[in-house]
Structure 1
């Protein structure tokens, strides 16, 4: 009988009791405490008592097995005594790699690879390679799928004969009768290919890749796209053209839209791996075909690759081969295609330059800004800064300002919010005069928006504008209009005034706070709505912090803010009293800080 079986207080006995509990949460907690139990047992007893116990207790809920597979990863090695004993964990992981639940198998394979990383070559030959061999020839497809994920870790540490055997076994898995195994092999083939030398890759693994790329299951073929990119990165341009060219063409024209989608979604990576000559001779035509694909999902994925692929070709190719497709996409029947185009089209501006952007892209921007689908409008607005850097804000604003003003009143609040976030950039580039004439009323109108997020964004916008144009401008242009809202009969307008003051305070100086802000805030401190009063208390706290570092600020806090807060501290509403008390503490710190600074100055003068 083992030591722990005769001792009910032994850590393993306690663990066993918890693993036998009906409550899954309790059993899960027991698994997560394995590292603590290992520390209590020590490395030797972990090897001789805990590891055998875990091997006998593997029949459990999938959630428990997943947690166990995770716990037995690379960090578990130290608990068994270091790398010299790491292989003792492999039998448990081998069992987990063959269970039915995919998540458990994947985590077990990941942990096994972490263990392999710390094993010596002798340990890999003696323990890890036989494990891979057993999983690869297992009766159930589950073990064979897990095996595909282990080859990349084992191959570099194996001897040449074992490496050759590994390639043969992996090639056999690529031809497995079960589609799930072939899918796993296709998924892991790219990582495995990176471990092979050039000759082994070309002579031994490429035939297996070609079979997978022409598999009768589209779920297998689509997974070969990423593998093809990994292989192409290891070949010269001529080799790519001769060895992979035909496969690329067949995948681009595959009968399954899912495969074409995968090619479109990874097209830039594929083009970079293939090289300049193949891009020019083969892939431009292939990309145009994807942009014109009959399936909207494929066109959407291809549209997302536009700026990345355009960087790989010359300007004439963009204008002569790609622009006609891009124009078609801007009026595509699918809103998702148009949305994908809108998020990427601005990336063409730096590549085309000033004149071509004005001629070819600006009309498309205007068209997309007027699209009926909100996401299209939102995507084009969010990327206009890239175009601004190419053609300048003045031309951009003149061309797009009518559309921007129209979108400022868009029925979709997210579009209005995107416009608000773009305003400070426009203001900075256009100057005060243009802003006051064209955009000031727009910005003030947002403060009365029925959507809170818009009102909040509008107050942040005012602070940014104050930082751009200065406090004097804000005192003359913005603050009077904001303060006027504080006397509105509508509760929301008065609340927005408080929010605006709180947001703008850090950008204001003591004069504007004393003369323009405080009178309104003090009057709002007696508002009949409790929500306004406790937000006023919050505003007082922010104003106190803003005044703390300004000359005369602590005196203003002491004379104006503290008396108002004292009244709020005795308010009938509990929330108002809470926030008033909190703000009072901060205000007193600011006021006393000034007193302390004065006393220190006097002491230094006397000295």
Structure 2
């Protein structure tokens, strides 16, 4: 009969919302003249059919609780929320296979509810009364949706830290033990997340019980529970005495690391690092290393991927001796792994690993793998390597960088995949510091210049971003000879982001080389674009004038830029004319008032009579500055 009734509820959308908050909650708030009327609306929206209205009201729970006061919040608001949660959980369990959008909507509300309940401690009367929040959160910790459970566990962890010891012993520990023994696996999984925060506050006897409960969860028949236990094993071990870790936690660690489910085994890798940091090098060699060695060769690529992902942390926890003797060999195998995902993740750790070992060992064992990865069949592997390979230059030094790495840099700079080229360009500075600008200009600059015309606009953009730094290192003469014309070419790029970056680049170059250099090398070339038949080029001229004006000084503005703007007032394209007005707005504060009145204002008066309303609008704004 109960099942039938719940099934009927399942298909009645409005039935979920039939619970209503006691009328006494908002009798005194319902007057339209009351300042609390918005609170009454929020309370009413808690049972509304519209998901956004319910979410809005849940997010305002603190405001509702504050308006009601601690007594009413405990007596009426919390029981109402608990009733809604109970009904939802019950009807969810009726038929998990037919979950529809109604449930998804309700899950979104429950995520918000789980979050907000953790913030109500002060509003229910303080930690002495926070026990009223535990039961609804316990129910939410057993929800089917994992995000709901995670938020509920987070809120419980936040509340338990401030609970009085008597409340912790009387109410929270029984709640935790009930979750750990619940019939439904979701509650047991949530219990794993509460063990770590509970253990330090428990008595010696309860600590023993907690360890026993955690051990039971580690051997649970449901993989999801074992996975949750594996996730929390390392942090739980940190709370426990070392002797107990070796006698009770290590067997659990070994069991989970050898689990039949790869989703459980891969979490054991992180525990290798955490537990290993608690043991001596000798103990690590005996107890942790065999598991780590096994994980690095696991049949599941996901486990090997996790080893590669956490390799730096594993090296730190195992110590330098084990790293050199055992882990470097394992890392070489990961760099040569059959799965591209594993090689990608291992490639990202190349520089980190080389920083932990001698240069000689890096050259003999890691460098051959790097040479293979530079031409790897997977573009993602090459892109990952390109992110970090430049960091090897400080480790190898100038001579070895030129001998072993320079050709690899060039090969990656010419890679077919744009992200590879992009990653190399963005890290050129680290190489320059090692080999010097002269060697950089001879070996890599030609490739960089070639990339300045790359088909992928993001690559061109990366080159532009690097130009000011390169210019400061090359010097003005070398820059004018090799890169000057290139910077002007970008002003006519078909991609707006490139043109915009190119104008900003001109300003940075002016700051590097000075105004006099800009007057003879940049400004004349920029100003010639004002008569280009393509209006986009003319627009770029205006952008460049606006960007350069603050750095070139009032004399250059008055002698070169204002005459140009006065000509462009008559441009046939309205977009150009209203951008002229916007550019005038930039330069008016930068020049003398006499110049403004005699040379700027007449141009704006022409624009104010323009037939285009946008031109009039911006011209009027500029005139107000005059």
What TM-score comes out, normalization by structure 1 length?
Answer: 0.93
Aligned to 2:158, which of 105, 114, 121? 114
Provide, for residues 202-234 of structure 1, a one-character-per-residue CA deviation record: whole Å limited to 9, x for no partner: 211111111111101111111222222221222
SS of 1:353 mapped into structure 2: helix
C-alpha distance in 2, partners of 1:412/1:171? 55
Tell me which residue corresponds to 1:556.
595
| Contact 2:21/2:77 (<8 A) preserved | no
Q: Superposition RMSD on alpha carbons, in Å?
A: 1.7
| Contact 1:125/1:158 (<8 A) preserved | yes
Provide, for residues 373-424 of structure 1, a one-character-per-residue CA deviation record: whole Å limited to 9, x for no partner: 1110010000001111111122111111111111111111111111111111
Unaligned 5+ residue runs, structure 1? 548-552, 589-607
Tell me which residue corresponds to 1:441.
485
Aligned to 1:88, which of 127, 132, 155? 132
SS of 2:541 mapped into structure 1: helix
SS of 2:492 mapped into structure 1: coil
In the alignment, is residue 450 of structure 1 matched against residue 494 of structure 2? Answer: yes
In the alignment, is residue 55 of structure 1 matched against residue 44 of structure 2? Answer: no
Provide, for residues 114-151 of structure 1, a one-character-per-residue CA deviation record: whole Å limited to 9, x for no partner: 00111122222111111110000100101011111101
Aligned to 2:221, which of 177, 183, 188? 177
Tell me which residue corresponds to 1:9.
27
Matches within 5 A, 1:444-523: 444-523=488-567
Tell me which residue corresponds to 1:605.
none
C-alpha distance in 2, partners of 1:8/1:413? 60
How far is the alpha carbon of 1:475 from its aligned partner?
A: 0.4
Tell me which residue corresponds to 1:67.
112
CA 1:7–1:277: 2 relative to 1, 3 Å: closer
Give aligned pairs, total: 580
Aligned to 1:41, which of 61, 64, 68? 68
How far is the alpha carbon of 1:559 from its aligned partner?
A: 2.5
Tell me which residue corresponds to 1:591.
none
Tell me which residue corresponds to 1:22.
49
Tell me which residue corresponds to 2:349.
305
How far is the alpha carbon of 1:13 from its aligned partner?
A: 8.3
How far is the alpha carbon of 1:50 from its aligned partner?
A: 2.3
Deviates more, 1:531-540 or 1:374-383: 531-540
| Contact 2:55/2:109 (<8 A) preserved | yes
How far is the alpha carbon of 1:3 from its aligned partner?
A: 11
In the alignment, is residue 404 of structure 1 matched against residue 448 of structure 2? Answer: yes
Deviates more, 1:225-234 or 1:318-327: 225-234
Provide, for residues 425-447 of structure 1, a one-character-per-residue CA deviation record: whole Å limited to 9, x for no partner: 11111111111111111111111
How far is the alpha carbon of 1:84 from its aligned partner?
A: 1.3
Matches within 5 A, 1:142-541: 142-541=186-585
How far is the alpha carbon of 1:51 from its aligned partner?
A: 2.2
CA 1:7–1:42: 2 relative to 1, 3 Å: closer
C-alpha distance in 2, partners of 1:425/1:19? 57
C-alpha distance in 1, partners of 2:339/2:21? 66
C-alpha distance in 2, partners of 1:138/1:460? 63
| Contact 1:310/1:318 (<8 A) preserved | yes
C-alpha distance in 2, partners of 1:570/1:546? 25
| Contact 2:25/2:72 (<8 A) preserved | no
How far is the alpha carbon of 1:5 from its aligned partner?
A: 4.0
Deviates more, 1:299-308 or 1:511-520: 511-520
SS of 2:63 mapped into structure 1: helix
How far is the alpha carbon of 1:239 from its aligned partner?
A: 1.9
C-alpha distance in 2, partners of 1:391/1:110? 50
Tell me which residue corresponds to 1:592.
none
In the alignment, is residue 569 of structure 1 matched against residue 608 of structure 2? Answer: yes
Unaligned 5+ residue runs, structure 2? 1-19, 30-38, 89-105
SS of 2:121 mapped into structure 1: helix
C-alpha distance in 1, partners of 2:253/2:409? 43
C-alpha distance in 1, partners of 2:43/2:579? 56
Provide, for residues 542-576 of structure 1, a one-character-per-residue CA deviation record: whole Å limited to 9, x for no partner: 112334xxxxx333233322222222222211111
CA 1:37–1:361: 2 relative to 1, 3 Å: same
SS of 1:176 mapped into structure 2: coil
C-alpha distance in 2, partners of 1:14/1:448? 57
| Contact 1:8/1:14 (<8 A) preserved | no
CA 1:17–1:447: 2 relative to 1, 3 Å: closer
C-alpha distance in 2, partners of 1:231/1:285? 22
| Contact 1:394/1:429 (<8 A) preserved | no
How far is the alpha carbon of 1:62 from its aligned partner?
A: 1.6
Aligned to 2:177, which of 125, 133, 138? 133
C-alpha distance in 2, partners of 1:249/1:121? 44
C-alpha distance in 2, partners of 1:570/1:198? 84
CA 1:471–1:14: 2 relative to 1, 3 Å: closer
How far is the alpha carbon of 1:32 from its aligned partner?
A: 2.3
How far is the alpha carbon of 1:522 from its aligned partner?
A: 1.5
C-alpha distance in 2, partners of 1:219/1:3? 43
How far is the alpha carbon of 1:162 from its aligned partner?
A: 0.9
